[in-house]
Amino acid sequence: MKRRALVAGNWKMNGSHDFNASLVREIVLEIKRFPDIDVLVCPPAPYLDAVGRQLAGSAIQLGAQNLCEQPKPGAFTGEIHGGMLRDVGCAYVIVGHSERRALYAETDARVAQKFAVALACGLTPILCVGETLDEREQHRTEAVIARQLAAVIEDSGIASFKQAVIAYEPVWAIGTGKTATPAQAQEVHAFIRGQLAAADARIANSTRILYGGSVKAENAQSLFNCPDVDGGLIGGASLKADEFVAICAAAQ
Ligand code: PEP
């Protein structure tokens, strides 16, 4: 089965009204050239509404970078419920990004709760998995990723991946300028697909698995050519319209 590619921009904690407006203006102008892929931007929460309004009528979808693990809204100061993300037009939400796992102590169990709430709210979770440099050097990449995936599969069930995306993001490649080689990426993507296939071959075949970690215009094509790489989760390069558009062109 040929899977439709997805290119998602994770703006992280960057942007302002003016910066976002000019970035979105440029991307929207170019996006018509890429009818065969899905494109998504994930601005910081305060800007979701404004960016969503600017995207209205374009093919670019809106995503959030995080959500609260609580199933219902209520007295959780500073948190954002998945229903609110839907309300402002989000279709996707990133869960388990390595920065949240490392800097905000998000455990596998917490990530699994967030994944379940995202689904219950009608959002498509983008589940990030990936190993640190130490874990890779200790040949623990597969064990770490199997554990991260299992937490979600055990909690939400394999069928939940009919409405979910996985992003393989080796932690050592995020924001470092070091990209996994296409062979390294393909090896782990095939492993992830194999983990899904052990539970359900059809779902494994249809689930999109993105690569993330210092993807740029110059390396995107070789990564996207890998048979199990179905697009990218793009951090730094998604803040530059020409780079992001070139990455979309590579996925088209
Ligand atoms: C990310 O934060 O998801 C990411 C992949 O960042 P970068 O592209 O900057 O490495």
* Residue of 45, 90, 38 whose CA lies nearest to 63: 90
Q: Residue 148 class from Cβ within 10 Å (0-12 exposed, 13-18 middle, 19+ buried)?
A: buried
Name 60's Cβ contacts closer than 8 Å, sequence gap at least 6.
Answer: 24, 27, 28, 31, 39, 40, 41
| Closest Cα to atom 2 of ligand 1 | 235
Mutate to test the pocket of ligand 1, among 98, 99, 100, 169 (most ligand atoms within 8 A of CB): 169
Mean pLDDT of the region 15-37 = 96
Looking at residue 121, what DSSP letter applies?
T
Structure confidence at residue 175 as a pLDDT band (50, 70, 90): confident
Map tokens 């393989």 to a residue. Answer: 168
Q: How many Å apart are CA 177 and CA 200, to the nearest integer?
A: 35
In percent, the amount of the chain with pLDDT more than 70 equals 100
Mean pLDDT of the region 10-15 = 98
Question: Residue 116 is which amino acid?
Answer: A
Structure confidence at residue 2 as a pLDDT band (50, 70, 90): confident
pLDDT at residue 239 is higher than 60: yes
Domains within the chain, CATH numbers bracketed: 6-251 (3.20.20.70)
Q: What is the pLDDT of residues 75-114, one digit of tens each?
A: 999 999 999 999 999 999 999 999 999 999 999 999 999 9
SS3 percent helix, strand, coil of the chain, rounded to 5, is 50, 15, 35
pTM, full prediction? 0.97
| Closest Cα to atom 3 of ligand 1 | 235
Catalogue the E-assigned strands of 69-183: 92-95, 124-129, 165-168
Output 2 or 223, whichever has higher pLDDT: 223
Q: How many Å apart are CA 108 and CA 42, to the nearest integer?
A: 22
Mean pLDDT of the region 216-235 = 97
This model of the complex carries an ipTM of 0.97
Q: What is the pLDDT of residues 140-170, one digit of tens each?
A: 999 999 999 999 999 999 999 999 999 999 9
Q: Phi and psi of 9, rounded to 5°?
A: -100, 120
Kindly give the distance from the C-alpha atom of residue 74 to the centroid of ligand 1, in angstroms, as a whole number: 32
Tokens of 157: 């069930």
Q: What radius of gyration, in Å, describes the C-alpha atoms of the chain?
A: 17
Looking at the CA of residue 128, tell me the nearest atom of ligand 1.
Answer: 3
Tokens of 57: 């009528």
* End-to-end Cα separation, the chain, in angstroms: 16
Looking at residue 177, what is its pLDDT? Answer: 87
In percent, the amount of the chain with pLDDT more than 90 equals 97
* Residue of 100, 152, 91, 95 whose CA lies nearest to 121: 91
Looking at residue 156, what is its pLDDT? Answer: 98
Angle, CA 130 vertex, CA 183 and CA 15 arms, to 5°: 105
Kindly give the distance from the C-alpha atom of residue 162 to the centroid of ligand 1, in angstroms, as a whole number: 25
**What 3-state DSSP class applies to 40?**
strand
pLDDT at residue 49 is higher than 60: yes
Asked whether the beta carbons of 9 and 248 are under 8 A apart, the reply is no
Instruction: Output the furthest CA–CA distance in the chain (Å, rounded).
Output: 48
